[in-house]
Amino acid sequence: MKKSRLTEKMWAKVTAFILLVIFIIATVLSALGAAAIIALGVYYQDVESVKSTYIYRGRSPGWREMLYTYDDLGVDGLDDLFSEYLMCYVKIENATTGKVIVEYGEENHNYRVESDSFRCEIYSYNGGEDYALDDTIKVTRHYDFSPENLETNTMLYIVDKAIDAAYVMKFWIYPIALSCLVIAIALFVFLMRSSGRREGCDGVRAGWGTKVPFDLLFAATVVAISFILNTAFGNWWWIYSYPIIQIISTIVSFIIIPIFVVGLCMSFALRVKLGAWWKNTIIYMIINGIARLVRSLAKLICKLFVKIPLIWKSAFIILGITFIEFLFIVFNMYEGDNILVFWFVEKVLTTPALLYFILCLKKLQQGAEEIANGKLGNRIDKKYLIGDMKEHAFVLDRIGHGIDIAVEERMKSERMKTELITNVSHDIKTPLTSIINYSDLIAKETTENEKISEYSLVLLRQSERLKRLIDDLVEASKASTGNIEIIAEPFDLGVLFSQTTGEYEEKLTKNELTLITKQPEEPVHIMADGRRMWRIFDNLMNNICKYAQSGTRVYLTLEKVGSEAVISFKNTSRDALDVPADELLERFTRGDASRNTEGNGLGLSIAKSLAELQNGELNITVDGDLFKVVLHFPLI
């Protein structure tokens, strides 16, 4: 079983609370006593001097008051004055004439005798017989401050005893005050630590008092303390009429006020331990409610503002700034300095905003250019973008992502086409090979029927053409999707020129074409796959043989231009070229609309794809009947 701590025991907390209240009262009283002892001058005056200053001084009634009282009320009025001021004898005489005006009571020189002289400032008394203006009036008073007489006036008696006590405690008051303060602090710390602790429970538990908002509890405590202080020390007539009531109320206030203050501190300590104490206050609730209302209104305004097109937003902002400028100018029409200051402040505020807007537009422009340049994976940094500009950045990102998806889908479709063509071609090649073989065998057989030999040769020729078409179709699909293996190595283009001249000399002569080649004397090397390069040359030369005008010249040139090797094929077309140059590079596009040649429209497309796979470039130029193909490859 867990051993309970002292801070969890109720009896310990109650005892500490009572002792804390007691020691707070003792500390306050000790501090007040020390201050009073210093103020009384106990350390440098004797007791009689202090009493003379704080008991006897100020107990002298004015001579006019005594004369008027005597004139109006007679001896009974003087009795009241004697009782109030503890006098036992008074004598008022005209020192100028020596005439006694008033003499009342019995002289007593054992306590205190006061004698004062005043210049007369009134014209007459008792018909003008006793004194005149500017006469000197002498007043002699005897006071009876015996203990018995002091007891009749409670406050003076208490002051008298307090002065006696001050002399007794003048050296003991400081250690007493310090001890009480130390003990009070220790008890206060103990109560703050024990606040919210309960025996048999782990952690801090909220009490019923925590349900009351703290600022309401604080305000109630302040009001209660103010009422108590006002009751104890306020100028209420019935308290001063009954001094004992003032004493009792003072004692009660000294007890109740520490109870309220300590209770408030314990409640605050418990709320701090529970966390987020400020949330349980009326002020926080009001501010939080206002903040939520403002946030809701701001969100509503923002939603409405967001739905407004950018042009209208800009118009509203410009109109708002213009309206503020108009109001300021109207109210400061004759204050040129104020208008100048306002203009300067406005520019200081609006110029950074305008620059920020321009920078955001620049960022959007750069992002759009990146997407336009093919960097579809590029994403615009939206860290400092706001509003419509941020939304526009998301749109640009979605455009790039959409294009990326479309390209991926297209590439996937192309790959599927290639796979389909490859698979179908493979399936076609098997029976086609049998057809070619048997056609060849039939053509070689001796037969009396000449038609059979003729038909077999046509069948063999068309089968071979179909085989070439299938091979070209497969190669075109692979080349366009990059599925062809390229083994790049240093390659001399001069060797390829010599090979082309030798391979196509007979075919060009048969078609009445004259090949003219031109190349540098020094070798021209590029990084390329020799087998793929030969296929490019083979396709281009086959096109020339098929479509060039008989009796014309064919030009094949090689030259170095900067850091590139430039190869050009030029010939004169037999048929009119009414197809744009770009379309000629597409698959199944042919220059002869009648399609009366053996071409299939794949040669140029294959050549272009193979050139690009080797970091090259193939371009076509059509100028009337002049057909020109130019290849560019980087030199090594």
Listing DSSP states for 502-514 in one string gives HHHHHHHHHTT-E
- Residue 396 Cα distances to 360, 367, 382, 386, 609, angstroms: 14, 8, 11, 15, 31
Q: What pLDDT score was predicted for residue 323?
A: 84
Q: What pLDDT score was predicted for residue 405?
A: 78
Q: Are 204 and 197 in contact (CB under 8 A)?
A: yes
DSSP annotation of 8 reads G
Annotated domain spans of the chain: 47-166, 207-303, 308-368, 489-634
CA–CA separation, 24 and 255 (whole Å): 9
Half-sphere exposure of 327 (CA within 13 A, CB side): 5
Segment 93-139, tens digit of pLDDT: 888 887 888 787 777 766 667 777 777 765 444 445 666 677 788 88
CB crowding 90-104: b at 16 or more within 10 Å, else e: bbbbbeeeeeebbeb
Residue 271: exposure state from Cβ atoms within 10 A (0-12, 13-18, ≥19): buried
| Greater pLDDT, 569 or 438 | 569
Percent of the chain with pLDDT over 90: 4
- Residue 216 Cα distances to 210, 267, 271, 291, 524, angstroms: 11, 12, 14, 21, 96
How distant is the alpha carbon of residue 532 from its chain centre? 61
Could you count the other beta carbons within 10 Å of the beta carbon of residue 421?
A: 18
CA–CA separation, 557 and 524 (whole Å): 12
Confidence of residue 1 (pLDDT cuts 50, 70, 90): very low
Q: Are 143 and 52 in contact (CB under 8 A)?
A: no
CA–CA separation, 421 and 411 (whole Å): 15
Q: At what angle do helices 75-85 and 63-73 cross, to 10 degrees?
A: 140
Q: Which residues pair with 566 in a beta bridge?
A: 559, 632
Segment 390-427, tens digit of pLDDT: 777 777 777 777 777 777 777 777 667 666 666 666 66
Q: Which residues pair with 91 in a beta bridge?
A: 103, 140
pLDDT of 312 higher than 50: yes
Element (H, E) at 163: helix 154-169
Q: What pLDDT score was predicted for residue 178?
A: 92
* Fold (topology level) of 489-634: Heat Shock Protein 90 (3.30.565)
CA–CA separation, 573 and 550 (whole Å): 9
Q: At what angle do helices 450-481 and 603-613 cross, to 10 degrees?
A: 30
Q: What's the average model confidence in pLDDT over 480-509? A: 82
Q: Which residues pair with 367 in a beta bridge?
A: none
CA–CA separation, 554 and 556 (whole Å): 7
Q: What's the average model confidence in pLDDT over 551-579? A: 87
Element (H, E) at 284: helix 282-307
CA–CA separation, 424 and 573 (whole Å): 35
List the structure tokens of 2. Answer: 């867990």
